[in-house]
C-alpha cells in the first residue's frame, strides 16, 4: 500500500455520498487531526474521487492543510468502489459498552484530556448536538456482587477541587465566583459500578434519593420521572386514538 501526500484541492468528494457529515462532526474530526495527527489516509479511486475519508477531507480543508495522506485504490471496478464506500460507513457502526466507556473517559479526564472536543460528554455518552431529544432508554446495566464499598470510592473530584481553588484565588466578582464554583462540579467523575454496589446495601431512604438523583435507574418509569431520558416531541404519536399506549 503506497501512501502519497496530495493537496486536498486535488481530491474530489463523491457527489452522491450517502453518509453526510455535519459541521459539528467535521470540527470534531479536525480536533482529532490536530491532536493525534493523521492515523488513517484518505482512500480515492483512480480518478481521485474519494471512497473513504470524506469527513477527514472536509476537516483538512477547514484546517487549511497543504497536503493530506492518500491511498489510491486503482484495481477496483466502479461497482466495487460504490460497494466499498457504503460498506466502510456501515461497518463502522457499532454499540458502546457504556460502563467500559465511562471508565476510559474517566481515566482520560484525570489525565487532562478533554474528550468533549472529540464528541463525548463527561458522562461517557456521545454528544448529539443536532438532536437534543431522545427516546433511547438503553440504561447501562451493572452486576452487583455484594462487595462493600465506601463513599469515597463512588466518585473522583480532584479536578473539581483544583478548579475551585483556582476560582477562589481569582480576582473576580464574588457572584461570578459562585457561578464558576457550581460549574466546577460538572467535572466530578462518578463510578457507576461502585455506586450500584453502594446502592444495593443502602437504607431505603438513601436508595430513594439516589434514584431521584439519577445515580441509579431501576426501571424506565424512573428514567423518565427523574429526567434520565427525555421523551421526544411528538410522543403522542405513540398513543392510539383511545389514548392507550401501544404494547
pLDDT at 119: 77
- The predicted-structure confidence for 158-199, as pLDDT tens digits, reads as follows 889 999 999 999 999 999 999 999 999 988 888 888 888 898
Residue 28 lies in a domain: yes
pLDDT at 52: 93
Question: d(Cα 247, Cα 245) in Å, to the nearest integer?
Answer: 6
pLDDT at 29: 92
115 and 74, same domain (yes or no): no
Q: Lowest-confidence range among 22-31, 133-142, 170-179, 190-199?
A: 133-142
pLDDT at 101: 80
Domain that holds residue 38: 3-91
Task: Give 53 or 115, the one with higher predicted confidence.
Answer: 53
Residue 66 lies in a domain: yes
Question: d(Cα 48, Cα 74) in Å, to the nearest integer?
Answer: 10
62 and 16, same domain (yes or no): yes
Establish how many alpha carbons lie within 13 A of residue 246's alpha carbon, considering only the half-sphere containing its beta carbon. 7
Q: What are phi and psi of 51, to 5 degrees?
A: -100, -50
48 and 119, same domain (yes or no): no
Q: What are phi and psi of 141, to 5 degrees?
A: -105, 135
Residue 137 lies in a domain: no
pLDDT at 175: 93
Please identify, among 46, 72, 91, the residue that sits at the C-terminal boundary of a domain.
91
* pLDDT surpassing 70 at residue 154: yes
9 and 81, same domain (yes or no): yes
* pLDDT surpassing 70 at residue 33: yes
Residue 85 lies in a domain: yes
**Number of Cβ within a 10 Å radius of residue 199:** 20
Cβ atoms of residues 84 and 48 within 8 Å: no
Question: d(Cα 36, Cα 140) in Å, to the nearest integer?
Answer: 30
- Number of residues that this document lists for the chain: 247
Residue 10 lies in a domain: yes
Q: What is the mean pLDDT of residues 104-127?
A: 70
Residue 56 lies in a domain: yes
- CATH number of the domain bearing residue 31: 3.90.1530.10
| Contacts of residue 88, Cβ cutoff 8 Å, sequence gap at least 6 | 51, 52
Residue 200 lies in a domain: no
Q: Across all residues in the chain, what is the average pLDDT?
A: 79
Please identify, among 70, 91, 112, the residue that sits at the C-terminal boundary of a domain.
91
Overall domain count for the chain: 2
Please identify, among 105, 127, 149, the residue that sits at the C-terminal boundary of a domain.
127
Question: d(Cα 66, Cα 34) in Å, to the nearest integer?
Answer: 14
pLDDT at 54: 93
Q: Lowest-confidence range among 69-73, 99-103, 160-164, 220-224?
A: 220-224
Residue 9 lies in a domain: yes
* pLDDT surpassing 50 at residue 135: no
Amino acid at each position: 500500500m503506497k501512501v502519497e501526500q496530495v493537496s486536498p484541492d486535488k481530491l474530489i468528494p463523491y457527489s452522491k455520498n450517502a453518509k453526510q457529515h455535519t459541521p459539528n462532526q467535521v470540527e470534531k474530526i479536525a480536533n482529532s487531526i490536530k491532536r493525534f495527527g493523521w492515523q488513517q489516509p484518505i482512500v480515492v479511486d483512480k480518478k481521485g474521487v474519494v471512497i473513504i475519508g470524506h469527513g477527514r477531507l472536509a476537516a483538512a480543508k477547514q484546517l487549511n492543510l497543504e497536503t493530506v495522506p492518500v491511498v489510491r485504490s486503482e484495481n477496483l471496478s466502479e461497482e466495487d468502489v460504490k460497494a466499498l464506500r457504503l460498506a466502510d460507513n456501515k461497518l463502522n457502526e457499532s454499540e458502546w459498552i457504556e460502563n467500559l466507556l465511562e471508565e476510559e473517559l474517566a481515566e482520560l479526564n484525570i489525565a487532562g484530556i478533554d474528550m468533549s472536543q472529540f464528541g463525548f460528554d463527561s458522562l461517557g455518552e456521545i454528544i448529539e448536538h443536532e438532536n437534543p431529544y431522545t427516546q433511547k432508554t438503553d440504561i447501562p446495566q451493572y452486576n452487583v456482587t455484594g462487595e462493600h464499598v465506601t463513599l469515597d470510592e463512588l466518585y473522583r473530584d480532584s479536578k473539581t477541587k483544583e478548579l475551585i481553588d483556582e476560582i477562589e484565588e481569582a480576582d473576580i466578582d464574588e457572584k461570578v465566583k459562585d457561578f464558576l464554583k457550581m460549574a466546577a462540579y460538572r467535572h466530578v467523575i462518578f463510578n457507576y459500578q461502585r455506586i450500584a454496589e453502594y446502592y444495593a446495601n443502602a437504607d431505603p431512604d438513601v436508595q430513594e434519593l439516589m434514584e431521584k438523583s439519577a445515580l441509579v435507574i431501576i426501571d424506565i418509569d424512573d428514567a423518565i420521572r427523574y429526567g434520565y431520558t427525555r421523551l421526544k416531541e411528538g410522543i403522542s404519536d405513540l398513543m392510539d386514538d383511545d389514548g392507550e399506549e401501544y404494547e
